[in-house]
Structure 1
Amino acid sequence: MDQKENRLNIFQQDAKNAIEAHCSSELSSKESSVLMQTLSEFSAFLCAENLSGLASATVERAVSFIKQQIHTVGTAAAELSRKAIEFFFQSRGDLQKNQELASIAEIKKSDPAPAKEKHFAKSLNQANKACALIRQAGISQSVGTQNTYRDCLKVFCDFIKENQLGDLKNVSRDVVNRFLAHKAATVGQKTCEKYKQAIQAYLHARGDLSKDQNLPPVHSDTPQKLGRRAYSPAQVEMIQAHLTRTLAFSTELSYRCGLRAHELLTIRRIDEKRPDRRFHKDGTEKKTPWKFADRDGEAYVVTGKGGLTRE
């Protein structure tokens, strides 16, 4: 687990703790996802200001955060963040139930748009706005996936700009095909798929592709190098030797149980949450009685990629 992932987990845990402590109202899965995403980003913003995460959140600091959101991800996404923080403050008691945060229009009036500091910010801004659109459409729930999409779409924006092909907002399928063909000649298969998935998610969110439509497969010209990527027990011990006791335990748990890093935050006893039923393409249910054959121990579940809860 690298330093970036550690920080990300800290912000997500801060958001999770705040929601569990103060937000008891019933929320839809989409509302819960937006609240979690927003509070994680708000926590990161506060920590960047050398403050103690959401414990130090105030209305004034929330307005500063929303100002930043307006300039980086656009008005529509900033309004989602504003509503989520307003709900959090009402739940925590910072605002009365009938009291609202300043509107986006009021925040804009008090803060004229800053001058662009770097020429490359335009590509990053376009990518951030595209990711906000993807999030609003409910296509991506994971913070990690959002970050991957943002990085891929920024590279796509750079390609569009370098070749004078317009901008991401008005990109055509022909430009998409040209970019993917360019990547197929320069990167491996998995990286090609990553770019394709990011662009496909954006086209779904924008309505250029219907939900049952996908971009055609991309085949890389670069030969794939196959080999073991798993850490050996000795390598895991070396990593643990440089971690705190808590993180060393989390690392060992991930290694022994095959967990993704973010799944550590979702561990529940199996009597608290049941694993999801899974089905083959023909509609029959997948049965895996062999999965834990001849193994002792307690059964737990985690919720991971795609929202799947598994044993």
Structure 2
Amino acid sequence: MEKRRIGSSPLESSLLGLGCMSLGTEYNEAEKIIKTAYENGINYFDTADLYDYGTNEEIVGRALKPFRSDVLIATKVGNRAKDDKSGWYWDASKFYIKEQVKNSLKRLQTDYIDLYQLHGGTLDDPIDETIEAFDELKQEGLIRAYGFSSIRPNVIREYAPRSSASSNMMQYSLLDRRPEEQAFPLLKENNVSVISRGPLAKGLLSAKSNEKLAGHGENGYVHYSHQELKEVLANITGHFHTRSLTELALLFNASNPEVSTIIAGASSPEQVQENIHAINQKPLSREEIELLKSLTNNRGYTEHR
């Protein structure tokens, strides 16, 4: 599988990464999914301290331990769980970040994290202090690189130029092209790679498109109403007879040079294999990319500009 460098870091990521949030808490089943990904060329695994209140990190760390040096483990910090695990609240303080990394390292059974990410970001953060925490962790050798995670151009505008972040994770897909207008140029200017999540738009751009459209699609998606979703999906499939929706969705993300890694979740080994098969197909031609852009909209962000 193709690999791309994440920003100015030394990290070389497989173009497709595994989003681990949906693995569940049954270790044997989760291990099958993780090993299927690894054995088929995926080296990037995305988790967070919040997922299942730490259990997800424990599962990922245990499953990847036999081939730790061959993979990139990315985790996140900032959503602080309440003591009774009834929810969480935002904490981007330097103290919390530097304390929480110790817990993530323990759960992941490793002595370093490849990519440590701020799990969000707001204009009310103590931004310089937050950045300082990540820079110190990098200097201490506990993390190899760091990034942030925001879809908000106004937040990206603060974090990208003031830090040595290598990445920004953000939602991006054929059905959510909002980052193209402001976010991508800001990130490119600061040599920050995009790690895209949600490339299949909650399954709307997958083999289960009709099923998903009949379910949560009733409320629309991003800028699209339910009726608009029906029309745009029909138009896409009507113009592309030899490519699946999953293939188009993943390859569209891959066609953007700002994207270093595309994160797709999976609830079964078969789903991992389907996604890997799709990303390994022939890249989209310039004509295909322009056609897909003409069939979808890019209305940009209406908030957080």
| TM-score, L = length of structure 2 | 0.25
| TM-score, L = length of structure 1 | 0.25
Higher relative contact order (CA 8 A, sep 6+): 2
The structure with the larger Rg is 1
Between Structure 1 and Structure 2, the one with more helix by share is: 1
